Structure 1
Amino acid sequence: MIEVLIAEDQHMMRGALVALLNLEPDIDVVSEVSTGEEIIPAIRKLHPDVAIIDIDLPGRDGLSVAAEIHEAKLSAHTLILTNLSRPGTIRRALDARVDGYLLKDAPPDKLANAVRRIAAGSRVVDNDLAAAAWRADECPLTDRELSVLRLAAGGDDIPEIAENLFLSPGTVRNYLTAAVTKLDARNRVDAIRIATDAGWL
């Protein structure tokens, strides 16, 4: 039996995924969570074979959690299930070493088959999506510049970003200026838009 954890914050979507997968004779949903912070503790407790993770979760985003699962060598393989087909987002997922990347509008049998293949050790990424990701431009921003821009996109002001990242306000301003310059943006808001459209945030 393949044991699965589902991390999805939309109740209706999560319920549909649980119902669909539990119809499969060889798949059992053993846990369902709605935030990024709940994923790692649930994996450590239940040891599922596959964690199906939405990218846009409250708290920690799905890709950063998937990267941590890989780095910590936890038992679960990771399948990102999302509406986002932007090349930059797919590339971030591949960089996070996820085992699968599937769009939410995929047919139900494709999801079940992806779970089986990932549990068996294969990597499942739609060929067209993967090709688009590798053709896309690489993100010119450093990890720290992305972190600062991501917090700014979430509405944090400079003092809040500085506190969250244990930086001085002046250093935060420098990172924001560097991001604006590298993206050839007009200002911080424009830089956030460019990075979001490219799937880098």
Structure 2
Amino acid sequence: MIKILLAEDQNMLRGALTTLLNMETDFNVMKEVSDGREALDFLQTHKPHIALLDIEMPTLTGLDVLKWMREKEMDTKVIILTTFSKRHYIKEALSHRVDGYLLKDTPSTELANYIREVVNNHKQVITPSIMNQFLFEEQHNPLSKREVALLQHVEKGMTTKQIAEALYLSQGTIRNYLSEILQKLEKQNRTEAAFYARNKGWLD
């Protein structure tokens, strides 16, 4: 019997997932919680085979819980189950050796099979579309090193003059770089471009 902890802050979704998972003859949802702190408290006294964690929850995120579990070297497997395919979330989850990263629209039969793959066969499972997107973006950063440095300064709220001084370039050159960046990323302004590039993981 695979013992499961489910952490999801949306009540209806949590209830539906619990019902669907408990319909599997080899699954037992030991505990369902609505936030990261409850999940962490439960894990301090119980040892489920696997924890299904949402990312954006009150008090602690699923990634916070994952990090804590890895620091404690717990045997419990972890699947992030989320609506977010943002690259920086995926990258952080992978850096903490997540066992699975799946989208919430994964069909229940597939989710059940993924859980078995992780627990019984010790495999890492990631929604194929997410992995393809991650690998594509990893390999296709359109920004040059100079453009990355420039956007990192934009993130700090620096003016064109301040960026020019920091990079030892003229203000005209900085404006040309910014124009090129906006064209590449198809964004309207520098702040939007920096935010977009950060979410893509291109400014790491």
**Pair 1:89-2:89 in alignment:** yes
1:55 aligned residue? 55
Say which one has the larger Rg.
2
SS in 2 for 1:45: coil
Q: Map 1:64-83 onto structure 2 (within 5 A).
A: 64-83=64-83
**Pair 1:98-2:77 in alignment:** no
Shift of 1:118: 1.1
Change (3 A) 1:183 1:4: farther
The CA distance in 1 between the partners of 2:89 and 2:151, in whole Å, is 22
2:152 aligned residue? 182
1:149 aligned residue? none
The CA distance in 2 between the partners of 1:64 and 1:134, in whole Å, is 24
Shift of 1:34: 0.9
The CA distance in 2 between the partners of 1:85 and 1:4, in whole Å, is 23
Runs ≥4 residues deviating over 6 A: none
Shift of 1:180: 9.1
The CA distance in 2 between the partners of 1:195 and 1:59, in whole Å, is 27
Shift of 1:198: 3.3
SS in 2 for 1:74: coil
Q: Structure 1-normalised TM-score?
A: 0.70
Identity %: 36
Root mean square deviation, CA, Å: 2.7
The CA distance in 1 between the partners of 2:110 and 2:102, in whole Å, is 9
Shift of 1:61: 1.1
The CA distance in 1 between the partners of 2:132 and 2:86, in whole Å, is 12
| Paired amino acid for 2:200 | A
Q: Map 1:158-197 onto structure 2 (within 5 A).
A: 182=152, 184-185=154-155, 187=157, 190=191, 193-194=195-196, 197=199
Shift of 1:107: 0.5
Change (3 A) 1:9 1:96: same
Change (3 A) 1:136 1:92: farther
Q: Structure 2-normalised TM-score?
A: 0.69
1:171 aligned residue? none
- Structure 2: runs of 5+ lacking an equivalent: 140-148, 159-190
| Paired amino acid for 2:128 | N
| Paired amino acid for 1:122 | K
Change (3 A) 1:101 1:77: same
- Structure 1: runs of 5+ lacking an equivalent: 139-178
Shift of 1:186: 7.6
Count of residues in Structure 1 that have an aligned counterpart in Structure 2:
160
CA contact (8 A) 2:87 2:199 kept: no
Shift of 1:193: 3.9
> 1:105-150 CA deviation, whole Å, 9 max, x = no partner?
1101011111111112111112331232234359xxxxxxxxxxxx
The CA distance in 2 between the partners of 1:107 and 1:183, in whole Å, is 43
